Copies of this chain bind each other. A is one copy, B any other.
Amino acid sequence: MSTIKDVSRLTGLSISTISKYINGGNVRAENRSKLDEAIRALDFKVNPAARSLKTNRTMTVGILLPALDVSFFAQIVGDVEARLFKEGYNAYICSYDHDPVQELRKLSFLLEQQVDGVLLVAEHVSADQLMALPALRDGRTPLVLFDRRVEGMAADLVLVDSKEICRFAAEQLLLKGHRRIGLIMGPSDISTAWERMTGYRQAFEARGLPIDETLIRQGDYSTGAGYQLLGELMDLPMPPTAVFTTNHETTLGAITAAFERKLRIPEDLSFIGYDDTQLTQIISPPISIVLQPAGLLAAEAASLLIRRMRGDREGFPHTAMLEARLLMHPSVATV
């Protein structure tokens, strides 16, 4: 690797002049061309370690997720990474594999690595645990919580209004005359799962309708769970006339189970799923889905984090609450 010193030798200019030029400073036109040529010839690249040592900025961010193979996160994280990259940031993308210990350990490790900022999809970590980390407590390293809250934590937040869209979705089913509506939800200690269930409940409560608790099934948000729980619902003595699945994987599993059972949608079962999938659009009939604004979420998370890393503390703690949409398709019948 060549260094500024090499460029200096080749051009006769001083190291400090060259450094300034590299960082956007001005040099005489003739020197500029000399430098450009030397830099190209030597394939000179700034040594990021040396730069970090001086500037105290690494131009890296940590993105910490419960898992990489959850499609919603996989989709978002690629987008966030691209946006950060465009601004010169490199992303350490880590999974803690739903493990509470790893969650905290990897977060600490990222902070030790001196990342300039962290985007976290939290699962088990508490506000106390977060505030015990010096870099976070002192606000030295900006943290943006993504998709899920951490109770009692004053932090920037990028969320989807899950409760409202789920209330709305359940309401649509009620309006179509459905009363027995199956809900396939996720682990209730995940804030979004809880909110989605709450929205569902609110739709019933707003109309003074009773909720049959046997129709609310909790799984682990996996495809297998979706498949399994749809089966359980349909095997009830009084099966639901509609079902609402609350994430992508679960939706896929439930659709498969419904098709396998030769249930006609919507004649035998009305269906509202969650998150876009190429599949829900093209199967027949197209499945109504709750569509989370993945692109906007990624953009919001990236730009908020970048703002903070640039030192702009305005409006902290900021909550960006984005709206999801319900795409209604013929998968819902009137009863």
Give A residues with C-beta under 8 Å from B: 1, 43, 45-50, 52-53, 58, 60, 67-69, 71, 74-75, 77-78, 81-82, 85, 90-95, 97, 106, 109, 112-114, 134, 222-224, 227-228, 252-253, 255-257, 259-260, 262, 277-279, 281-284
A97 and B82: CB pair below 8 A? yes
Closest 3 CB pairs of A and B: A259-B259, A224-B278, A49-B52
Q: Given the interface contacts A48-B112, A48-B113, A259-B259, does A85 sit within 8 Å of B97 by beta carbon?
A: no
A260 and B278: CB pair below 8 A? no
Q: Which of A45, A60, A68, A114 has the most CB of B within 10 A?
A: A68
Nearest residue (CB) in B for A105 is B85
- How far in angstroms is the closest Cβ of chain B from A2? 10
- Which chain B residues lie closer than 8 Å to A109 at the CB level? 85, 90
- Which chain B residues lie closer than 8 Å to A71 at the CB level? 69, 71
Q: Given the interface contacts A49-B53, A224-B282, A284-B260, does A81 sit within 8 Å of B94 by beta carbon?
A: yes
- Which chain B residues lie closer than 8 Å to A94 at the CB level? 81, 85, 91
- Which chain B residues lie closer than 8 Å to A224 at the CB level? 278-279, 281-282
Nearest residue (CB) in B for A285 is B260
- Which chain B residues lie closer than 8 Å to A281 at the CB level? 224
Instruction: Give the docked Cα–Cα distance between A278 and B226 (Å).
Output: 10
Instruction: Give the docked Cα–Cα distance between A292 and B335 (Å).
Output: 46
- How far in angstroms is the closest Cβ of chain B from A258? 8
- Which chain B residues lie closer than 8 Å to A43 at the CB level? 134
Nearest residue (CB) in B for A281 is B224
- How far in angstroms is the closest Cβ of chain B from A4? 14
Instruction: Give the docked Cα–Cα distance between A223 and B49 (Å).
Output: 42
B45 and A112: CB pair below 8 A? yes
Q: Given the interface contacts A49-B58, A69-B78, A282-B227, does A92 sit within 8 Å of B92 by beta carbon?
A: yes
Instruction: Give the docked Cα–Cα distance between A220 and B27 (Å).
Output: 50
Instruction: Give the docked Cα–Cα distance between A112 and B19 (Å).
Output: 17
A223 and B279: CB pair below 8 A? yes
Q: List 9 A-B contacts (CB under 8 A).
A: A49-B49, A49-B50, A68-B75, A78-B95, A82-B97, A90-B92, A224-B278, A256-B279, A259-B259
- Which chain B residues lie closer than 8 Å to A284 at the CB level? 260
Instruction: Give the docked Cα–Cα distance between A69 and B134 (Å).
Output: 34
Instruction: Give the docked Cα–Cα distance between A259 and B92 (Å).
Output: 40
Instruction: Give the docked Cα–Cα distance between A253 and B71 (Å).
Output: 15
B114 and A47: CB pair below 8 A? yes
B81 and A77: CB pair below 8 A? no
B253 and A279: CB pair below 8 A? yes
- How far in angstroms is the closest Cβ of chain B from A57? 10
- How far in angstroms is the closest Cβ of chain B from A116? 12
Instruction: Give the docked Cα–Cα distance between A93 and B95 (Å).
Output: 11
Instruction: Give the docked Cα–Cα distance between A75 and B281 (Å).
Output: 25
Instruction: Give the docked Cα–Cα distance between A205 and B188 (Å).
Output: 55
Instruction: Give the docked Cα–Cα distance between A166 and B255 (Å).
Output: 29
Nearest residue (CB) in B for A93 is B93
